[in-house]
Structure 1
Amino acid sequence: MAGRWIERWDPEDDTFWRETGERVARRNLFLSVFCEHVGFSVWSLWSVMVLFMGPGYGVDPAGKFFLISVATLVGALVRIPYTFAVARFGGRNWSVFSCLLLLVPAVAAWLAMEPGTSYTTFLLVAAIAGVGGGNFASSMTNINAFFPLRKKGWALGLNAGGGNIGVPVVQLVGLLVIATAGATQPRIVLAVYIPLIVIAGLCAALGMDNLAPVRNDTGAAKEALRDAHTWIMAFLYVGTFGSFIGYSFAFGLVLQTQFGRTPLQAASLTFIGPLLGSVIRPVGGRLADVYGGARITLGNFAAMAAATGVVLYASVQKSLPVFLTGFIALFVLSGLGNGSTYKMIPGIFQAKALARGLSGEDAAAYGRRLSGAAMGFVGAIGALGGLAINLAFRQSFQTVGSGTAAFAAFLACYAACFTVTWAVYVRRPARTPVSAAPAPAYAEV
């Protein structure tokens, strides 16, 4: 695909941004949100399909948890090549291709969703749905290049939040189908999404742009991988996004398995948490723009630990109202933390550029170059946190018959994330000799 290429792009130039850049960037952001939204819906499709899998399918709760775990795993792994595809093929070109590719898992699910299909076939079809998770990485890398540093928290938060909303929307569609047509008509959900996938691909083809200055840079990837901050941020993103996607996929099954909810009762509650977590993600990015991503992230992990304590108590006491309160709070906080952590990535590499003595466009270019490369790895590893959550639930239900043990493990994880955020990014940096380069102000990222 030849596509439409923009040869000059300098968002840090105020005049360029005001006269040309902002209008183009906003158009690409809007369409990127739409494409990523559909990608997230397909990625989380099996969190809905398992609600339709009654006794006739012959799949127990552990098997259902494993199905959604497979989709999570593939979605995490494909994020790495998707990150570099933007520079290789162009943001517009890859958006068109990655959107239309979603037809494969959607059509495969249409063919597979009926009693009598083998579990191996379900595993394969769920794995293919993982390609929807890759859209996040390419979309975020693409939008990161369009916006100036001062706008990245808002833009990345809006892009990711709009994409994340694909999770509750597909769950809401599933609820409407179960409520109106019953729990034996999963193909109606797919009948909604197959044409939507085509529309998203056409919109990307007609309205998005490729940025010529964004070129494939394997050196940036290697440099980002060597930087400890890439791996530290990946760990923190496991705590935020891993929680969001893991809970989103598992929430309905937990309600059915631990609290005995019917498919309709589970579906009527499942979408609420992901919806709130998605909507608040841009707020997390905006707060990070104003107050610093590290400070917002630190407070957020403390709150996530507290909410997990509530859920753990409710799990032991078998109190559904308290459980729902704590679990929905976890969704909201994970969304807030998603926005603040992702804002930290470009800020960290901008701070490192300044510490190396760079300034102006040189510093901005350095920050864009490394943060774009780092985002793919951070997003991929963060999504693996969702896999860990689903496997933890599977093991917990197999061994003790409830999610209590899994929630105890999640509480320990949030405590570790809080400690790392404070130690690396919030604690006052040690003084450096006058002759040394200035220490990056990581608390401001």
Structure 2
Amino acid sequence: MELLEIGRQAREVSRLLGKLGKAEKDMGLKAAANALLEGEAAILEANKIDMENGRSRGMNQGLLDRLELNHNRIQAMAEGLFQIADLDDPVGEVESMKERPNGLLIGKKRVPLGVIGIIYEARPNVTADAFGLCFKTGNAVILKGGSDALHSNMAIVDCLRKGLEKNHLPKEAILLITDTDRETTKQLMKMNQYVDVLIPRGGAGLIRTVVENSTVPVIETGTGNCHIYVDESADLSMALDIVENAKTQRIGVCNACESLVVHENAAAKFLPMLKERLDKYQVEIRGDGAARSIVPEFSEASKEDWGTEYLDYILSVKTVSSVEEAISHINCYNTGHSESIITGNYFNAQKFLNEIDAAAVYVNASTRFTDGFEFGFGAEIGISTQKLHARGPMGLKELTTTKYIIYGNGQIRK
């Protein structure tokens, strides 16, 4: 199907979706979730093709991890749709109705954005998440996934559409662009007549390309150079567990820890323990001079390391002399995603929460929790690192806008 026809269909079906009630949308979401579970074998077979192609092209382990589907991940995709169905529907909510002196009643009503375009890399779980959130909020979605996940995405979309059709709901609620030509992606960025907002999900290069070339409004989802700061008052056993989890549970995700900051008074005891803990994962640790004087086996960190999202078994380590220095370093090099402090000091915790400039700021917890599912949103459309309209994991409310509704009884302006 040609891109302009995809855009036309999306615009047309968005008007139908905006009229659906909560019961109809929830029924469609549950049917789509069941169709995913029923189609697991076909999805896994398609994913196997993408994984084999990825390995043959030398895709790194972090990206392969993002691409891979298995029984548990398909179950999680379906569970996300079931959870979205159980959430309150923000569409139709009326906010702040007020009466003016002239008798006019003026309020705000929450409405769908319309048509949402999503450009993303090799993460097939995004396909189901994006559909679920957009469908619940009455939006049509146009998906442009990476060529590396094409077979997986096609299989997932086929299942989701079958679920909708079983309940006599429009399958065009989700439209997948299968043309892998980069010119098609560029054309999508210019389709203002059909697309209301674009959301890029992927690496820094993809996001920069969309932000710089799109004439459609963009909600920027950022890369994740996430830091953990181990304060001098930290429980070091807790810190080890948190860093291990944040760095190694999944290396190819944007909320993984890429950078570690350690107070100099904790470094001598903590860093050797850290090396021993991460050696079993073969994590390369790149440290500054102070860190390497404690653990000579660390590689030497360059200035570029402080701002790098590795998506690999690599961790940078910076030593500091105060919480103020830690905050300054993190605010200089972070990507506005997720930052955490491990501390036993209440005042340092509050200072970190107040002064770190990021979408999600943690005390004594792993950055891996920055996720729509973990935040109770059912799923997420992305993690926004910008400050306008949406910030952090984007759930249902962030996929709506408002319009003013005004009730009168014959008023005219004089």
What's the TM-score bracket when you normalise by the shorter of the two chains?
under 0.3
Structure with more of its chain in helix, by fraction: 1
Using the size of structure 2 for normalisation, the TM-score is 0.26
Q: Higher relative contact order by CA 8 Å / sep ≥ 6: 1 or 2?
A: 1
TM-score w.r.t. the length of structure 1 is 0.25
Rg (Cα) greater in structure: 2
